[in-house]
Amino acid sequence: MTDHQKDLDGADMADRTAATDLALIRSMMEAGRRRAGIDGTHFVLWGALLMLAFFAQYMSVVGYIPETIIGIWGPVTVIGWGAEFWMAHRERRQGPGRNIALIAYSTSWASVGLGVLIYFVISLAAGTFDGRTTSILASGLIGAAFFVTARVTGVNWLLYVALGWGLLLTYLAHTTVYDAEMLLVMAGASALLILLPGQLMKRLAADEA
């Protein structure tokens, strides 16, 4: 075999390897899209929890129930993260989960939870907690996570949900007043921009089942 033939064989093998790798990556992406794109359970869970928590905090601020931050958000954090760990364990048992799309999806939402939780704990410990800052931080992180979710799953209407959170972020950053009524705005946003998309995605899952 001549050196020229060896070079041709090597190039052909490299092309086949590249094509195989590309096909594998595409199949992983598609698997992630199917699993992340149609599973609205996480959104339904957090949308409901946040909606109830913001409404409870509103009731606390206006004096209908005892005023407490930890008493409201502590149980929300425990229930939410506990449910997430349980669902993650269940999903790992149902099949392999390490693919590009699913990692991007789960990491983006884990960043939301960790970012808000870190600020919440540190600011409470330091006595610098501010509801407006928390809402701005949460709106930005949630909007970014919805943007990532839309891109990796191909569910393009989620981009409008991300836009909704971006508009809310703009409003919160612009206004200088964060009163009790703003807690109702955040409760409404949790219902319309997390819980409702979750319900729609669960319906999408049922249609494709």
Q: Taking the model in full, what pTM does it have?
A: 0.81
Convert the pLDDT of each residue in 17-46 to its tens digit.
Answer: 655 655 544 555 555 455 554 578 899 999
Q: Is the pLDDT of residue 119 over 80?
A: yes
Tokens of 135: 């809402």
Residues 49 and 39: their CA atoms lie apart, in Å, by 17
Q: Which residues contact 191 (CB under 8 A, 6 or more apart)?
A: 47, 51
Per residue in 132-189, pLDDT tens? 999 999 999 999 999 999 988 888 999 999 999 999 999 999 998 899 999 999 999 9
Confidence of residue 11 (pLDDT cuts 50, 70, 90): very low
DSSP state of 67: -
**Domain coordinates of the chain in residue numbers?**
3-208
Cα–Cα separations (whole angstroms), residue 28 to 73, 99, 102 = 37, 5, 9
Dihedral over Cα of 14, 15, 17, 22: its sign: positive
